[in-house]
Amino acid sequence: MNHALRLLIVLGGSVLLTLAAGWVTDLLLRRADARHPETPLWNALRCCRHALQIVLFAALLRAAYRQTAWRPLREHEVAVGRTLSLVLIGAGAWLTVVVASAAVESGYARYAAGTRDPARLRRVRTQVTLITRVLTAVVAVVAAAAMLLTFPGFRALGTSMLASAGIIGIVAGVAAQSTLGNLFAGFQIAFGDMVRIGDTVVVAGEWGVVEEITLTFLAVRTWDERRITMPVSYFTTRPFENWSRGGVQMTGTVFLHCDHSAPVDLIRDKVHEILHQCPQWDGRGWDVAVTETTPSTMVVRAIVTAKDADDLWTVRCAVREQLVAWLSEKHPGALPRLLLGPSPQDGPGRTPHP
């Protein structure tokens, strides 16, 4: 009965202390958040309460389970102690990752609230994402190593293989050359400001928006909702177009093949009218000019601007569609024609115009 009472005291005391610590921690964080609403860290740290409670509960049991003097625990003392140590290490790693992620995300939230430059915001978002993933990977590796060291057999195995660690490292480095290359390319992208989450890029003949960047691969979402996944080393070894570099505003062109008799001045006025009626045009600039001629047509180029790639696509389509419709209705002779017979100006026996 004495042993059962001790077991009940240890378990009940650990549970009560864990619940009390969680409640006090949550209360303090809520008060700190109420006093400093401009700092999102305190509210973000509230999600760490469960990890903290598991760490505290495992630590209390690990320190006091021998005091129960319960026979089944004494018979399996090593296994129980090792299990509690594994739980404590895993919960500690979880708590470390959650606290670090909350701190990083709160710092990014404060930075985003005071920054109006979307390009810089995307760059910081990319760096924050990669930093969080690197930290998670490092903590996971350290926790796994700490768990393995709790087993005496693995400690002896590590000591015996220490002499051949150099050879194994060389072989692993050669075998993982591609993986390591992508890993370092991920760091280069994150801190070299080459490409960021949210950038509009053209890769492999496809244009889309960078949706996700990890340490090994990068995902691009195309305009038709497809996902192009490629290794990050692609962006450090091959040229690519980044339409968001230096600002998201863009300039585009619309080409029309017209007859030589097309009224260029009227086309210029019509393009200006179309742009003023198009809400996606940002008003930065426009132009219409004849850029090339062929024996049968001339090429009219219209230059338009927009605040980003999506709006530019809309403006170009609107100008092209409305301009062709206007020419077909008001100036059908300005559209390209293919003459298969003699024109009225050609006399009998003369060669028809092409």
Which range is least confidently modeled, 24-28, 84-88, 157-161, 233-237? 157-161
In order of 11, 252, 267, 275, 278, the CA distances from 314 in angstroms are: 66, 11, 19, 11, 9
CB-CB contact of 207 with 213 (8 Å): no
**Residue 259 predicted with pLDDT over 70:** yes
Quickly state the pLDDT bin for 46 (edges 50, 70, 90): confident
Q: To which residue do tokens 């710092």 refer? A: 107
Distance CA 126, CA 147 (A): 32
Distance CA 191, CA 215 (A): 12
Within a 10 A sphere around the Cβ of 253, how many other Cβ atoms? Answer: 12
CB-CB contact of 210 with 197 (8 Å): yes
CB-CB contact of 318 with 312 (8 Å): no
pLDDT, residue 325, reads: 92
Closest CA to 289 of 309, 268, 258: 268
Give the phi and the psi of residue 69 in degrees, each rounded to 5: 55, 30
Distance CA 136, CA 100 (A): 9
Quickly state the pLDDT bin for 323 (edges 50, 70, 90): very high
pTM of this prediction? 0.48
**Residue 321 predicted with pLDDT over 90:** yes
pLDDT, residue 23, reads: 82
CB-CB contact of 45 with 29 (8 Å): yes
Residue with more model confidence, 257 or 180: 257
CB-CB contact of 203 with 219 (8 Å): no
**Residue 160 predicted with pLDDT over 80:** no
Chain-centre distance for alpha carbon 288: 38
Distance CA 139, CA 129 (A): 16
Residue with more model confidence, 165 or 255: 255
Strand partners, 206: 203
Give me the percent of the chain exceeding a pLDDT of 70.
Answer: 72
Within a 10 A sphere around the Cβ of 282, how many other Cβ atoms? Answer: 17
